[in-house]
Amino acid sequence: MSAPDIASDRPPAGALARLAARPAVWASLAFVAALALLPYSAPLFHALFPELPRPLYTRASFLDLALSHAGLVGLASLVVVSLGIAIGIFVTRPAGRDFAGPVDTLTAVGQTFPPTAVLALAVPAIGYGGAPTVIALIVYGLLPVVSATIAGLGAVPAAPVQAADGIGLSPAGRLVKVELPLAAPVILSGIRTSVILNIGTATIGSTVGALTLGSPIIEGLSGSNPAYVLQGALLVGLFAVATDLWFDELERALH
């Protein structure tokens, strides 16, 4: 009798407690707090670096930097995820089997390329700014997603595939209802690698003229202003860690 009452009472408190116990939530809160408080932190950095005349980065607001950084990575990731999974599916179907070997070679060789070198090569090809950064992020970010999709679909056991054929699913139905769900954890880990890598590469993107959280770091390094470096590094570090921890949550939810 009272069981339903307890059940209806508990979830909100339990959910809140569970939410509060998640490191992803803490990291995100820390990132948001840093973003909100840094504009008012001039006195703190004056005290920390008394020799610097202007210890707080003001060329662009931290919020703009964060939004631009997240926008570059988000745009690239959107293309990477849709295109990468599509390529991975294509080369594991009968129609695309001829391309499987070469695509495998390409992703294996491509992943040995230094990401910074790929970013730098985008400049002679396209020029300076946000566009070459996004192109480089897409090209480099595709590799882990494609190889993870191929690996994930390749590791699907034969039994459920045969069962799907047995109950009369079409190849497309089998892919959507059986193969992709079973391959999802591996694909997700490929997406995670790609996104985290791209957050780091986008930071270097400020050397090719993109507006990112790396801008204060690069400017601080070239202008000997360690305070700028600290502000940029703090924000981008928290951003990357929070994103990674959310992937942790997503992976756990998938299992």
Q: Nearer Cβ to another protein, position 64 or 98?
A: 98
φ and ψ at 107, to 5 degrees? -70, -35
Given 75, 79, 83, 121, the residue binding another protein (CB under 8 A): 121
Q: Nearer Cβ to another protein, position 160 or 200?
A: 200
| Choices 55-63, 162-170, 171-179, 193-201 (CB under 8 A): range interacting with another protein | 193-201
φ and ψ at 243, to 5 degrees? -60, -45
Q: What is the CA radius of gyration of the chain?
A: 23
- Using CB under 8 A as the binding rule, the residues of this chain from 14 to 43 that contact another protein are none
88 near another protein (CB under 8 A): no
Q: Which amino acid is at 254?
A: L
Q: How far is the CB of 177 from another protein (least distance, A)?
A: 29
| Choices 13-21, 33-41, 154-162, 230-238 (CB under 8 A): range interacting with another protein | 230-238
Given 114, 154, 171, 223, the residue binding another protein (CB under 8 A): 114
| Choices 6-14, 50-58, 161-169, 198-206 (CB under 8 A): range interacting with another protein | 198-206
Q: How far is the CB of 122 from another protein (least distance, A)?
A: 10
146 near another protein (CB under 8 A): no
Given 105, 181, 223, 249, the residue binding another protein (CB under 8 A): 105
74 near another protein (CB under 8 A): no
221 near another protein (CB under 8 A): yes
Q: How far is the CB of 147 from another protein (least distance, A)?
A: 14
Which residues, 6+ apart, have CB-to-CB distance to 46 below 8 Å?
A: 52, 55
Q: Nearer Cβ to another protein, position 69 or 174?
A: 69
DSSP per-residue codes, the chain: -HHHHHHHHHHHHHHHHHHHT-HHHHHHHHHHHHHHHGGG-HHHHHHH-TT-S--S--SS-HHHHHHHHHHHHHHHHHHHHHHHHHHHHHHTSGGGHHHHHHHHHHHHHHTTS-HHHHHHHHHHHH-SSHHHHHHHHHHHHHHHHHHHHHHHHHTS-HHHHHHHHHTT--HHHHIIIIIHHHHHHHHHHHHHHHHHHHHHHHHHGGGGT--STHHHHHHHHHTT-HHHHHHHHHHHHHHHHHHHHHHHHHHHHH-
Binding site for another protein (CB under 8 A): 98-99, 101-102, 105-106, 109, 112-118, 120-121, 123-125, 128, 196, 199-200, 203-204, 207-208, 214, 217-218, 220-221, 226, 229-230, 232-233, 236-237, 240-241, 244
